[in-house]
Structure 1
Amino acid sequence: MTVCAIEITTTAPLTIAADGSYAARLAGDGEARYPERWTLAGPEPYAVPLPLAQPEEADSEVLPLADGRVLIHRRVAERHAFALLYPTGGAVAGPRTGELPLGSLAPGGDHVRVSLLPPSPDGHGAFALAASAAGTTVWQVTGGAFGQVATVPGRCSGGVWLDRAGRMLSLDCELDGTTKAVAVDLGRGGEVSPLLQIADGSDDRLLLADPDSGLLLIRSNAPGEHRLGWGVLGSCLPVRFPESLRGVTAVPFAVQPGQALMPETCGVALRFEDPGGTPGGGGASLGLWRPAERRVFRLGAPAGWLGTGLWSPQGRLHLPYTTAEVPCGIASLTLPASPPPPVRLDPATTAPRPVPLQQAPL
């Protein structure tokens, strides 16, 4: 599809817990894959392999929880099974990984895509998306009773948390030929309401959100081409599409936290993909940007970079990487304390309604 050619759909091969304490990935090569947990909260990172008796399939998904356990999603025949993995002090002979089955679902039909949503901000909940053209269901996998918690019309993708409690979830919903970001309130039985409606017939996706500042990173074709833009949750200002991001087909993967009511000063980390490149495979590079600045600073990524990272409130961007010499490493960059000389932001008119849950015209 044309949209897929424009949108960068590759995901980072490492997933970081919402609080930055742990990360998880599917390590190994070929048919010898196994889950691996990274501990990030200590003085230096270290990895713990979590192999079982049989290797994992390449399409299995893993997600870290704040308590150190790792959720794994596997496809088993026509079902999707979920389990928690954790290191044990078992005998030397045999796997030293404990496994706690949680449940499974059978979405029915080959046109249903089941995938894990990003880690919940509370660190304990985990959710899965079962999406098809007929409709999408959100399933709670852990952190509560296993089962369906929301139903959304249309085929949904993406998944961005809008708060720190893990209650408000944004999904990109494809319905009647267009894709719009909607908000799903998991605390009110999965109540669905509009989030982005920038222009009639435009595809408006939410890529990233920072609850502290309210900064939203958006991709939309409302300006006539697919462009990156930004808005503010709860603001009456419209979405802005800076010239510095025009023609940029990067994935924003981290926003500097702790910038309460200061979205313009938030550092944003962007992952660029060279044609045919993949994170960690030498094809990705890194960009740094603030909404208040007129340019994107593009940098070379560390060797073996895993395509994601974590930004501290102090302005340090931590980038996980793995090489033959350093199997579990973190490289750090410091965001400059002050931006370049002030520049005029893109002109915009006042929106009649706030960006969140309502409309945001150009």
Structure 2
Amino acid sequence: MTVCAIETTTTAAFGIAADGSYAARLAGEGDALYAERWTLAGPEPYAVPLPLAQPEEADSEVLPLADGRVLIHRRVAERHAFALLYPTGAETGPRTGELQLGGVEVRDGVQVRLLPPGPDGYGAFALAAEDTVSTVWQVAGGPSGPRPVARIPGRCSGGVWLDRAGRLLALDRELEGTTKAVAVDLGRGEVSPLLQITEDSDDRLLLADPDSGLLLIRSDAPGAPRLGWGVLGSSLPLRFPECLARLGGAHPFAVQPGQALMPETCGVALRLPEGDIGLWRPADRHVFRLAAPEGWLGGTGLWSAQGRLHLPCATPEAPCGILGLNLPATPPPPVVVDPPAPSTPRPVPLQQAPLAGR
């Protein structure tokens, strides 16, 4: 299983580890918030609370690691502090252990947030973005405390992993009035172009699957912001299916892994503007619409390679639950022909990017 998204709101945060073994969120109500770890690898999911003597702030972020520890990001004045939380298992004393990792000092106006879990399951990274430069920090999994691993000119947002090693990261960079997705080699600190459909278009990368190379993008190159898809390293034009255009502000949050060399068959899950769920394959010209389950932690989920979508849910009766959905095997016949997509310049120009060898 692969992690697909992190959902953060003003009242809660939820994330899933890269291998699907653990999840974490902020639980509790009002001012009594605490980190909570979900174990997903067993026959039934279960939650372990990780409270400390002082409750967590609502803007804290949590990120689960594959070893069961939970990284927490707290803001203390202008300092951003990081720590690992874990259950101690002791019969007496505190139920939660805490390992301080250090912090990052930033100036006013610099936004710091966690990036999606590293694909190796143990690395954790944060993005510090200001108007003229953005910095990627490794905050866990390194030889010491937080350290900068890449500086990118411009203001960056987003964050999508392009490989399984946790070295290649895609960010959406705003520079000179336009936003383009770039590839960042965290090993070398190098930045390369990734998406450039037209010179003036805003081209953002929303999701990627390293197995198949499937890319989900949002671009205004067709005349207005639309969802599209392409294949990493391919010279074929991006497609902007009409069935996705009819969804308005839908956002993809999960993609099916394990479909090597078959991006058209990958299942994609989308959060629809009204809060429901859309299921779609690039080979289809139809989106299957499903009502969101009660208590769905909206915008999060993970696919199995076999095509089953797992959605985390929390209700008063079942505070830790996973609902499984199957992607329908046979799509309905197409009824709308996709409009032509821009074909020049190449929509995924990776000739000079670190992924050119794919």
Task: Give me the TM-score of the superposition, normalised by structure 1.
Answer: 0.89
User: 2:134 aligns to what SS in structure 1?
Assistant: strand
Note the C-alpha offset of 1:186.
Answer: 0.8
CA distance in 2, matches of 1:250, 1:348: 19
Which residue among 309, 313, 318 is the counterpart of 1:321? 313
- Residue 279 of structure 1 corresponds to which residue in structure 2? none
Give the CA RMSD over aligned residues.
Answer: 1.9
CA distance in 2, matches of 1:199, 1:155: 20
- Residue 43 of structure 2 corresponds to which residue in structure 1? 43
- Residue 3 of structure 2 corresponds to which residue in structure 1? none
- Residue 87 of structure 2 corresponds to which residue in structure 1? 87
Trace 1:25-174 onto structure 2 (pairs within 5 A): 25-92=25-92, 95-109=94-108, 111-145=109-143, 146-174=146-174
Q: Which amino acid aligns with 1:339?
A: P
Note the C-alpha offset of 1:211.
Answer: 0.5
Kept after mapping to 1: 8 A contact 2:270/2:278: yes
Kept after mapping to 1: 8 A contact 2:286/2:331: no
- Residue 4 of structure 1 corresponds to which residue in structure 2? none
Q: Which amino acid aligns with 2:305?
A: P
Evaluate the alpha carbon distance shift between residue 263 and residue 356 of structure 1 in structure 2; reply closer, same or farther with a 3 A threshold: farther
CA distance in 1, matches of 2:349, 2:57: 39
User: 2:276 aligns to what SS in structure 1?
Assistant: strand
Note the C-alpha offset of 1:13.
Answer: 3.4
Q: Which amino acid aligns with 2:119?
A: P
CA distance in 2, matches of 1:53, 1:356: 51
User: 2:187 aligns to what SS in structure 1?
Assistant: helix
User: 2:94 aligns to what SS in structure 1?
Assistant: coil
- Residue 277 of structure 1 corresponds to which residue in structure 2? none
- Residue 328 of structure 2 corresponds to which residue in structure 1? 336
Note the C-alpha offset of 1:348.
Answer: 5.0
Note the C-alpha offset of 1:336.
Answer: 1.8
CA distance in 1, matches of 2:267, 2:130: 35
Are 1:294 and 2:285 an aligned pair?
A: yes
- Residue 303 of structure 1 corresponds to which residue in structure 2? 294
CA distance in 2, matches of 1:42, 1:122: 20
User: 2:272 aligns to what SS in structure 1?
Assistant: strand
User: 2:72 aligns to what SS in structure 1?
Assistant: strand
- Residue 4 of structure 2 corresponds to which residue in structure 1? none
Any gaps of 5 or more consecutive residues in structure 2?
A: 1-6, 353-358
Note the C-alpha offset of 1:356.
Answer: 5.0
Note the C-alpha offset of 1:342.
Answer: 6.6
- Residue 355 of structure 2 corresponds to which residue in structure 1? none
CA distance in 1, matches of 2:351, 2:105: 34
CA distance in 1, matches of 2:25, 2:251: 19
CA distance in 2, matches of 1:273, 1:13: 19
Q: Which amino acid aligns with 1:143?
A: G
- Residue 233 of structure 2 corresponds to which residue in structure 1? 234
Q: Which amino acid aligns with 2:348?
A: V
Note the C-alpha offset of 1:341.
Answer: 4.0
- Residue 312 of structure 1 corresponds to which residue in structure 2? 304
Moved more, 122-131 or 342-351: 342-351
Are 1:355 and 2:354 an aligned pair?
A: no
CA distance in 1, matches of 2:345, 2:225: 24
Q: Deviations over 1:136-160 (max 9, x none)?
A: 0000011113300000011101100
Evaluate the alpha carbon distance shift between residue 346 and residue 263 of structure 1 in structure 2; reply closer, same or farther with a 3 A threshold: farther
Note the C-alpha offset of 1:352.
Answer: 5.9
- Residue 209 of structure 1 corresponds to which residue in structure 2? 208
Note the C-alpha offset of 1:90.
Answer: 2.8
Kept after mapping to 2: 8 A contact 1:128/1:138: yes
How many residues are paired up? 339
Q: Deviations over 1:87-108 (max 9, x none)?
A: 012344x531000011101111
Kept after mapping to 1: 8 A contact 2:195/2:347: no
Are 1:179 and 2:182 an aligned pair?
A: no
Q: Deviations over 1:205-235 (max 9, x none)?
A: 1000001110000001111111000010011
User: 1:245 aligns to what SS in structure 2?
Assistant: helix
Task: Give me the TM-score of the superposition, normalised by structure 2.
Answer: 0.90
The percentage of counterpart residues that share the same residue type is 77
Note the C-alpha offset of 1:119.
Answer: 0.3
CA distance in 1, matches of 2:191, 2:16: 27
Q: Which amino acid aligns with 1:301?
A: A
CA distance in 1, matches of 2:39, 2:209: 23
Evaluate the alpha carbon distance shift between residue 163 and residue 239 of structure 1 in structure 2; reply closer, same or farther with a 3 A threshold: same
